[in-house]
Amino acid sequence: MTTRRTLLQTALGGLAFSTGIAGQVARAALPQGAIDSATLERLPGKQPLIKRSYRPPNYETPLADFSSAITPNDRFFVRWHLMGITEVDAREWRLTIGGDGATKPYELTLDQLKSDFEAVELVAVCQCSGNRRGLSDPHVPGVEWGYGAMGNARWTGVRLKDVLERAGLSKETVEIAFDGADRPALDVTPDFIKSIPVWKAVDENTIIAYAMNGEPLPHHNGYPARLIVPGWTATYWMKQVVSIQALRKPLANFWMASAYRIPKGKFAFADRFISQENDATTPITEIVVNSVITSHADGQRVSRGSPLTLKGLAWDSGAGIRRVEVSRDGGRSWNVADLGDDLGRFSFRTWQFGLNAQDPGPLVLMARATNRQGSTQVSELIFNNPGYHNNVIQAVTLTVV
C-alpha cells in the first residue's frame, strides 16, 4: 500500500547523511511546501503520478516507475505552461507551415503528415529543463520538481527537415518557431511559442512525432503531434503543434527573450543558440550528463549479508554513456557498474551493480555517470536562479538490519 511516507521517499530519491561528497549532496531537499502538497493522483489515461500543480497540470513520475529504459505512456510525466489545454479532434487538426522565411507555405492534415513523408523512429529522453529544481540550495521559484520530470520513449513521426523542405526555406531563415493548440486563460499571458535555430531544425534527428511507444500520443503528452528535439531539454518539444514558422529574424517573445535562459558561460555546451544569446544570458539547450538510482529508496531496509543489486538509469544529450560508477564509502572510491542495452545515443541507458551489505547500520550508496565526451556528474550544484541543469550525484541511504 502506498503511504505518504513511501511516496515522499520515492519522490525524493535519496538524501545522504554522511561526510565527503555524500555530505555535500545531503543538503539537497525539496521545500516543505512541495512535500506537504505532494499527492499521488491519476490523470485520464495515466497511472498515479506525483502532482506538482493543478493549473496548469504538472505531474512527475515516481522513481520506482523507472524500472526499464523505456517509460510507459501511462507513467510518463506531464508538463504544461498554459491552462487552456485543448481536446484536439484529429480529424479537424491542421498543421500550418509558413513564415517570412518560407517561399511556399502550406497546410497538412494528420493523414497527410503520416502519408506524405517518410516515417522514422527514434528513442529519446524528454526531460523538463527544471527537473530537480526542488533540490536547489537555496530554493528557487518555479515548479518544485523532484527527480521524475522526465521520461524516455520510442517516438515515431517524420523528419522536420522534410516538412520544411516542402515549404522552400529562404537562405535568410535563422530560426524555426512553433506554436501549440494550448492557450492562456488570460489575454495578458503570453502564448507559449518557442523557436530553435534552423541548423537544429534540419537535423535528421529532429522530428514531428505522432506516436509514442507504438501508440498515438496521449492527450497530456501532446496528441495528435508534437515536436521531438533529441538531446535538448523539453522546453522546445512543442506539444499539440499547430504552427511552424520559418523566421528571418530571431523570435523575441517572452518565452525566448526572458524565460528558459541561463547565465552565459555557466555551463559548457557544444550546442549554442547563438541568435538568441545576449551579453549576460544564453538559452538553455542540451541536457547535461546525469544518472539516477531507481531500485532503492532512501531509508529502505535491507538484510545484512544478503546480495543487493542496485539499479538505475543514465543519460546525456547524445554523446552516449561511457560508464556508470557506484560508491559505497561516501565518494572516496568508485566501482564500475554494468551497463544495459544501448537503445541509441539519446536514450536512457540502464545500469546495475551487485554488492553485499555486510555491516549493520546506514549504507550510503552513490552513482555517477560519465559520457563518451568525458563529462561527469558534479558533486556540488552549479547554482543558477532558474534551477536548471541539476546533475548533482545522487545518494541513497539504506538501513542494513
Summarize pLDDT for 291-349 with one digit per residue, the tens: 999 999 999 999 999 899 999 999 999 999 999 999 999 899 999 999 999 999 999 99
On whether the CB atoms of residues 121 and 205 are closer than 8 A, the answer is no
Distance CA 294, CA 66 (A): 6
Q: What is the pLDDT of residue 23?
A: 52
**169-216: per-residue pLDDT in tens?**
999 999 999 999 999 988 899 999 999 999 999 999 999 999 999 999
Q: What is the pLDDT of residue 17?
A: 34
Q: Which CATH architecture has domain 290-400?
A: Sandwich (2.60)
On whether the CB atoms of residues 29 and 298 are closer than 8 A, the answer is no
Count of beta carbons in the 10 Å neighbourhood of residue 308: 18
Distance CA 114, CA 384 (A): 41
* Single pTM value for the model: 0.93
Distance CA 258, CA 267 (A): 18
* Mean of all residue pLDDT scores within the chain: 93
At 84, the pLDDT band (50, 70, 90 cuts) reads: confident
Cell numbers for 190, please give them.
Answer: 503570453
Q: When comparing pLDDT for 260 and 359, which is higher?
A: 260
Element (H, E) at 347: none
Sequence-distant (6+) residues with CB within 8 A of 77 are 49, 59, 60, 61, 128, 148, 149, 150, 151
CATH number for the domain whose boundaries are 95-283: 3.90.420.10
The average pLDDT across 275-301 equals 97
**What is the Cα 239 distance to its own chain's centre?**
14
Q: When comparing pLDDT for 207 and 18, which is higher?
A: 207
Q: Is the pLDDT of residue 42 over 60?
A: yes
Nearest to 150 by CA among 339, 320, 315, 325: 315
Kindly list the domain boundaries of the chain, sorted by start residue: 95-283, 290-400
Count of beta carbons in the 10 Å neighbourhood of residue 131: 28
Distance CA 299, CA 139 (A): 23
Residues recorded for the chain: 401
Distance CA 311, CA 321 (A): 15
